[in-house]
C-alpha cells in the first residue's frame, strides 16, 4: 500500500495550467457545459443533468470535499497565455492498496485539436507518478476515438475492451481501457 497523498493545487504544463477546481471558474464552467452540450453529452453522462449554474457550483463544492478527503483531484485547465478556461481533468478511482488511479477529462469543443489535453495529461501524470501511483488508466467508450487517441498519443497501451458495461441513451456500449505504468516505482518491500 502506498501512503495517501494530495496533489499540488497548481500544476504547470507547456501551454496550460491546471488549477484545483474552485468556485473562481464556476461561471466559465457553466458556460462551457451549456454551450457544448451536444458535443459533451455523447460521452459524459452528467451533462443532461447539469441544468444550472447552481448544479455546477454544487459539484465544485463536492469536488473540494473529495480533494480534502484525498479521493479525487479535479482541476480546471486554463490556457497559460490567455488565462481562459479550456476544460477539466481529474484523477479518480485512486486505489492505494494496488497503486492504481484513473484520469478523466473534457475540453470545450472549439479548444480541441490544439494538443491542450495531451499537455494536461502529461502534466497530471507526472504529478501522480511522483506520488508512487504505478498504474494509470484512461478508460473510454469504444466509440470515443478522440479520447482513445489522447491515450494512444500519450503512450498509454490498449489493454482490453469491457463488453457492454456502459448503459447509456438506451443502449449498451463497450469500454476500452488504456494503461501506462510508472516503471520507476518500486514494489512494496
Ligand X SMILES: CC(C)(COP(=O)(O)OP(=O)(O)OC[C@H]1O[C@@H](n2cnc3c(N)ncnc32)[C@H](O)[C@@H]1OP(=O)(O)O)[C@@H](O)C(=O)NCCC(=O)NCCS
Helix, strand and coil in the chain, % to nearest 5: 30, 35, 35
Query: Which CB atom, from 5 or from 39, has the smaller least distance to ligand X?
Result: 39
How many helices and strands in the chain, by DSSP H and E? 5, 8
CA neighbor of 13 nearest in space, from 103, 92, 117: 117
CB of 83 to ligand X, least distance (A): 19
Q: Which residue is nearest to ligand X (CB)?
A: 115
Rg value, the chain, Cα:
16
CB of 137 to ligand X, least distance (A): 11
Host H or E run for residue 31? helix 26-35
Q: What is the largest CA-CA distance in the chain?
A: 51
CB of 39 to ligand X, least distance (A): 6
CB of 1 to ligand X, least distance (A): 28
Query: Which CB atom, from 108 or from 131, has the smaller least distance to ligand X?
Result: 108
CB of 91 to ligand X, least distance (A): 14
Query: Which CB atom, from 6 or from 48, has the smaller least distance to ligand X?
Result: 48
User: Rounded to an integer, what distance in angstroms lies between the CA atom of residue 133 and that of residue 127?
Assistant: 10
Query: Which CB atom, from 7 or from 107, has the smaller least distance to ligand X?
Result: 107
Strand order in the sheet with 10-12: 10-12, 16-20, 73-79, 85-95, 100-107, 135-141, 171-181, 157-168
Binding site for ligand X (CB under 6 A): 39-40, 43-44, 105-107, 112-118, 140, 144, 146-147, 150, 153
Query: Which CB atom, from 133 or from 166, has the smaller least distance to ligand X?
Result: 166
Query: Which CB atom, from 27 or from 153, has the smaller least distance to ligand X?
Result: 153
CB of 44 to ligand X, least distance (A): 5
Amino acid at each position: 500500500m502506498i501512503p495517501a497523498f494530495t496533489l499540488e493545487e497548481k500544476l504547470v504544463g507547456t501551454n496550460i495550467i491546471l488549477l484545483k477546481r474552485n468556485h473562481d471558474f464556476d461561471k466559465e464552467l457553466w458556460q462551457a457545459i451549456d454551450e457544448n452540450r451536444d458535443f459533451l453529452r455523447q460521452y459524459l453522462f452528467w451533462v443532461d443533468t447539469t441544468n444550472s449554474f447552481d448544479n455546477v457550483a454544487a459539484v465544485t463544492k463536492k469536488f473540494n470535499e473529495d480533494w480534502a478527503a484525498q479521493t479525487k483531484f479535479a482541476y480546471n485547465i486554463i490556457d497559460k497565455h490567455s488565462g481562459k478556461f479550456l476544460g477539466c481533468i481529474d484523477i479518480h478511482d485512486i486505489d492505494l492498496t494496488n497503486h492504481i488511479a484513473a484520469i478523466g477529462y473534457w475540453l470545450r469543443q472549439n479548444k480541441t485539436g490544439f494538443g491542450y489535453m495531451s499537455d494536461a495529461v502529461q502534466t497530471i501524470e507526472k504529478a501522480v507518478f511522483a506520488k508512487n501511483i504505478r498504474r494509470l488508466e484512461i478508460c473510454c467508450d469504444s466509440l470515443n476515438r478522440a479520447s482513445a487517441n489522447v491515450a494512444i498519443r500519450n503512450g498509454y497501451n490498449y489493454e482490453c475492451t469491457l463488453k457492454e458495461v456502459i448503459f447509456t441513451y438506451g443502449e449498451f456500449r463497450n469500454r476500452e481501457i488504456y494503461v501506462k505504468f510508472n516503471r520507476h516505482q518500486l514494489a512494496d518491500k
